[in-house]
């Protein structure tokens, strides 16, 4: 552990490191975005948005913030940090994802809204609304290698969407509670749920995903993130309701280490040069680095 960034009053829902500056952006359910100086670790600004934040991500020089009935967009490369507001969502925006020039937003009413980027005065135009889901969309994941968008929902299902046609091409059933987080690579997909289970899916001939394995935790799973450790090994970081982040080797799924937190970790995000960040339910953002000797 390198540092604890304290100041948020409620759960952290997004951590984003901008490529356009040396600032770290964190969003919380307390309705604020905090801007941290990466060199000093000090909070430079507190931006009160007035509404509970549901999600926050960064892509290049763009920061996207999910709010009730709205997505706010900041372009950090423009002088004055140009801001845009994207209307259309119904209810809280719980999940955001970017693929090429498309922005996806998963909402409380089960819709996934899609905007296409442009270079006009308002750089985003809504191009589609995906309406196959019955309850809130709480996580999104881009499977660029298989041209798919994955969405996890409070209806306990995972939908697989074609990124070209924006049509639903498969529904994955099997979880008995909310699908909270998704992780994909190549032809593989991991789905994580509050039902304490992780399901491992592989695409067969024709592209259809089939379940091939299952791992069970002792408590509900909140968030997963994939990255490499200091030795270049692929690792899955899995946050659970037991206030722990479990670190698994992807190849064997053996637990190699564990981070003990004071509260439930709701957000995990990767940084440069072996750094990663966790955000917990009490509003604390913790900065970590992989040790070379582990």
Give pLDDT, residue 121.
Answer: 56
What are the structure tokens assigned to 97, written together? Answer: 């994802």
Integer-rounded Cα Rg, in Å, for the chain is 18
Give pLDDT, residue 117.
Answer: 87
- What are the residues whose beta carbons fall under 8 Å from the beta carbon of 42, sequence distance 6 or more? 36
Give pLDDT, residue 57.
Answer: 96
Q: Point out the residues of the chain with pLDDT beneath 50.
A: none
Give pLDDT, residue 122.
Answer: 64
Give pLDDT, residue 132.
Answer: 78
Give the strands of the sheet with 234-240, arranged side by side: 221-228, 234-240, 244-249, 255-260
> Minimal CA–CA distance to 178: which of 164, 163, 197, 162?
197
- What are the residues whose beta carbons fall under 8 Å from the beta carbon of 122, sequence distance 6 or more? 84
Give pLDDT, residue 273.
Answer: 84
Give pLDDT, residue 200.
Answer: 93
Say what the pTM is: 0.93
What are the Cα distances from residue 213, in Å, to 17, 108, 149, 194?
A: 34, 30, 21, 17
> Minimal CA–CA distance to 269: which of 279, 260, 259?
279
Give pLDDT, residue 22.
Answer: 85
Bridge-based pairing of strands 32-37 and 43-48 is: antiparallel
Give pLDDT, residue 172.
Answer: 96
Give pLDDT, residue 293.
Answer: 66
Give pLDDT, residue 280.
Answer: 96
Give pLDDT tens digits for 42-53: 999 999 999 999
Number of CB atoms found within 10 A of residue 108's CB: 19
Give pLDDT, residue 154.
Answer: 96
């Amino acid at each position: 552990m390198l540092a604890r960034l304290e100041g948020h009053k409620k759960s952290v829902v997004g951590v984003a490191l901008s490529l356009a500056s040396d600032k770290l952006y964190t969003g919380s359910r307390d309705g604020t975005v905090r801007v941290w100086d990466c060199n000093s670790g000090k909070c430079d600004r507190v931006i009160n948005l007035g509404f509970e934040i549901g999600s926050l991500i960064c892509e290049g020089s763009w920061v996207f913030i999910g709010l009730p009935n709205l997505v706010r967009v900041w372009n950090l490369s423009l002088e004055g940090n140009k801001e845009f507001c994207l209307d259309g969502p119904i209810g809280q925006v719980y999940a955001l994802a970017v693929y090429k020039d498309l922005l996806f937003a998963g909402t409380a009413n089960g819709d996934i809204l899609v905007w296409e980027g442009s270079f006009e005065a308002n750089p985003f135009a809504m191009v589609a609304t995906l309406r196959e889901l019955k309850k809130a969309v709480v996580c999104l994941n881009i499977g660029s290698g298989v041209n798919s968008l994955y969405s996890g929902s409070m209806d306990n299902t995972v939908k697989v969407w074609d990124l070209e046609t924006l049509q639903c091409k498969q529904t994955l059933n099997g979880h008995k509670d909310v699908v909270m987080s998704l992780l994909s690579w190549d032809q593989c997909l991991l789905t994580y749920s509050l039902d304490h289970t992780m399901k491992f899916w592989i695409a067969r001939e024709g592209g259809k995903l089939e379940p091939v394995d299952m791992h069970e935790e002792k408590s509900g799973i909140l968030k997963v993130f994939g990255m490499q450790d200091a030795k270049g090994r692929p690792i899955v970081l899995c946050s659970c309701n037991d206030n722990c982040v479990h670190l698994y080797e992807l190849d064997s799924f053996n637990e190699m280490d564990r981070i003990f937190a004071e509260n439930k970790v709701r957000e995990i995000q990767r940084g440069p040069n072996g750094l990663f960040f966790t955000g917990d339910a009490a509003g604390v953002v913790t900065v970590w680095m992989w040790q070379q000797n582990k």
